[in-house]
Amino acid sequence: MKFATASIAAALALATALPASAQTQKPEDEIRYRQSVLNVVGRAMGPMGAMAQGKAPFNAAVVQKNSALIETMMSLPWDSFGAGTDKGAPTKADMKIWKEAAKFKQAAESSQRASTALVAAAKGGNEAAFKAAFGELGKTCKGCHDDFRLKEFRN
Amino acid sequence: MKFATASIAAALALATALPASAQTQKPEDEIRYRQSVLNVVGRAMGPMGAMAQGKAPFNAAVVQKNSALIETMMSLPWDSFGAGTDKGAPTKADMKIWKEAAKFKQAAESSQRASTALVAAAKGGNEAAFKAAFGELGKTCKGCHDDFRLKEFRN
């Protein structure tokens, strides 16, 4: 009983010390949250992809807005891949995310850095600089998807 | 045939004139997108709600970060409630969104304004100002949910 009380006190102290973003969430909520964030990223990538491929005219304002949004989003989903969130709702998350956690962390950090670089490139309003930085970001997205995202949902 | 060709030309001209964010999306993608955005909003509201209720200590840095995120998010979902997006995937969107479009637009704009006001209040790092502005934002969320969100998903 003494141990249990001490554990509860420690847990409460920990909960208070943790940033609010690390409050406990159900696995299905974590899965939904990370999918939501990455869905917003995907939507923001779309118009820039069209520009990068020459299918839409270069629009510096859209590039600046969307790259800022992506940079903001890229800080959000990774904490939601914590222990116990490998299942609980349909997910494309490969178990390698948890088995090769250090590699996954590196991949996530690469994407974050590439999104920051895109924001910097976008500020100049230069199409060539945008295309180069967008290409780099796209590579990090694809790399992480190739390594850590399944083709189909699993439960 | 002449009419069809003219229509296509007009459609292409329109597509070019539209902002990239208004590119055509499938209804199910629009539904998923607006749900994703509002899921991110909900997650960001959580820790601030705990602070507002005195269940967590006031943390100015978290308030500033989360309110900025919410303000960014609040500009995104409304275009995805366009014509034809009332069905296509499970949704809690009430048909009143399309039947009372002007009222829905007002509700959305109220939330956007309240999120901007919260960002301004958060900058000062004052707990009472935060609580007041957060309460106002919460009211606009609740108002829109009460009027335009169903209790259960429909197809």
ipTM: 0.85
Structure tokens of A78? 């990774």
Tens digit of pLDDT for each residue in A119-139? 999 999 999 999 999 999 999
Band the pLDDT of B12: cuts 50, 70, 90: very low
Percentage of chain B surpassing pLDDT 90?
83
Using 50, 70 and 90 to split pLDDT, how confident is the model at B1?
very low
A12 — pLDDT class (breaks 50, 70, 90): very low
Distance set, CA A120 to CA A68, A116, A129 (Å) = 9, 6, 10
- A76 contacts on B by Cβ (under 8 Å): 40, 69
What per-residue confidence (pLDDT) applies to A24? 76
Which of A36, A78, A80, A119 is the best residue to mutate to test the B interface, defined by the most B CB atoms within 10 Å of its own CB?
A36
Query: What amino acid is encoded at A142 in this protein?
Result: K
Q: What does the block give as tokens for B101?
A: 């479009």
A21: pLDDT strictly greater than 90: no
Nearest residue in chain A measured CA to CA from B49: A20
Binding-site residues on chain B for chain A (CB distance < 8 A):
16, 19-21, 23, 32-33, 35-37, 39-40, 43, 46-48, 50-51, 56-57, 59, 62, 66, 69, 72, 76
Say which of A21, A47, A72 has its CB closest to residue B47. A21
Tell if the CB–CB gap between B47 and A76 is shorter than 8 Å. Answer: no
| pLDDT band at residue B24 under the 50/70/90 scheme | confident
In terms of Cβ atoms closer than 10 Å to its own Cβ (0-12, 13-18, 19+), residue B128 is: exposed
- Is residue B134 predicted with pLDDT exceeding 60? yes
Cβ contact, residue pair B20, A76, below 8 Å = no
pLDDT tens-digit readout, A60-69: 999 999 999 9
pLDDT of residue A75: 97
Across the range A71-88, mean pLDDT stands at 97
- Compare all CA atoms of chain A with the CA of B47 and give the residue at the minimum distance: A20
Q: pLDDT band at residue A6, thresholds of 50, 70 and 90?
A: very low
Residue A74 burial (CB < 10 Å; 0-12/13-18/19+)? buried
- 3-state secondary structure string across chain B: CHHHHHHHHHHHHHHHHCCHHHCCCCHHHHHHHHHHHHHHHHHHHHHHHHHHCCCCCCCHHHHHHHHHHHHHHCCCCHHHHCCCCCCCCCEEECCHHHHCHHHHHHHHHHHHHHHHHHHHHHHCCCHHHHHHHHHHHHHHHHHHHHHHEEEEEEC
Reported pTM: 0.86
**Greater confidence, A2 or B46?**
B46
Mean pLDDT confidence for A91-109: 98
> Is the pLDDT assigned to residue A143 strictly greater than 50?
yes
Q: What is the pLDDT of residue B23?
A: 57
Asked whether B37 and A40 are in contact (CB, 8 A), the reply is yes
In the 8-state DSSP scheme, what is residue A85? -
Over residues B101-119, the pLDDT tens digits come to 999 999 999 999 999 999 9
Flag whether pLDDT at B18 surpasses 70.
no
Percent helix, strand, coil in chain A, to 5, is 70, 5, 20
C-alpha count within 13 angstroms, C-beta hemisphere, residue B65 = 16
**CB pair distance less than 8 Å for A20 and B76:** no
